[in-house]
Amino acid sequence: MYIGRDIFTLIHMKKNRRQFLKNVTLGIIGTGIAPVIARTNYDEKFISPQSCNAVTEDYYGEGPFYTDNPPEIQNGMLASASEPGQRLIITGVVKNLDCQEIIPNTEIDIWHANDAGAYSSGSDYTLRGKTYTNSQGFYSIETIFPGKYLNAGQFRPRHFHFKITPPGFPTFTTQTYFQGDSDIPSDPASSVSSGQFDATNRILPYTVNAQGTIEVTWDIVIEGNGILGVDNLHLNNGMIYSVSPNPFENEITINYGVFKTADIKIEIYNLNGVLVANINKNQLTPEKYTAVWKPEKKLSSGIYFCALKVNDIQVHYQKIIKK
């Protein structure tokens, strides 16, 4: 296991906790955050009241296009580099129903249409595969933005199919959609807004990064055996409120706040859940802080997760990308 060089700088800001919280609150109000919106520099999924709702079933269920025994996704790449279509990365963490514990080793089976709206069939597993959440409960899948296809005379909105299986628990099957899709209001499944098949929190916000890749965050809340604490624990403990630049090449600045005196760690994990760097390990008082991480050049490019731990409990995270 490679542990990156621990190079960080702490900048002690002369503001008390109350002023810090006030600043964060004003910053959030200034962005005009609604219950579900596209991401900004703040990570709204930890602010939104919808972040802790359990995943619901989809009205259409599994659908007719599933193929058994899909292959395991390699290096997080569901779509090959040559697959036509706009690239898309979906990341998140899988949590149990109390919304405070993550579930490692959860199987995530995903399949979807190609750019032209067609599904592969038979032994062709194009855009079909399964992956597992890592030891920290994280997952990341790179694919393409799915196309639309006609269903009973009307187009279905773009969507992903998921089968989610926590260790020792039943499989849960559902679908996700994308905010702003003009075909959602007329779709029998994605337009459902209450009850067992309520799709409201499965219509996902997304952003497009500087490289033209769509970025989606979906934290999955489902029954399972929780292990590590997460979610709204950050509201009373601390949070990572920005990372920049992201993607980064030689170094990345992590701005975070500590809300109570505690043992604080900032750790970097790769897609497999392997710890690659301890950036900070100190007892800190309530303040704003900044850590600068300069990984060694031999650290490979890709997606990593920056986690803030308070007294060894993970309370917040951000996805970061090394060029």
Per-residue pLDDT for 126 more than 50? yes
Contact 232, 99 (CB under 8 A): yes
2-11: pLDDT as tens digits = 333 333 333 3
pTM of the model: 0.71
Task: Place 68 in a pLDDT band, splitting at 50, 70 and 90.
Answer: very high
Per-residue buried b or exposed e for 63-83, using 16+ beta carbons within 10 Å of the residue's own CB = beeeeeebeebeebebbeeee
Do the strands 302-310 and 313-322 form a parallel or antiparallel pair, or are they unpaired? antiparallel
* Mean pLDDT score of the chain: 82
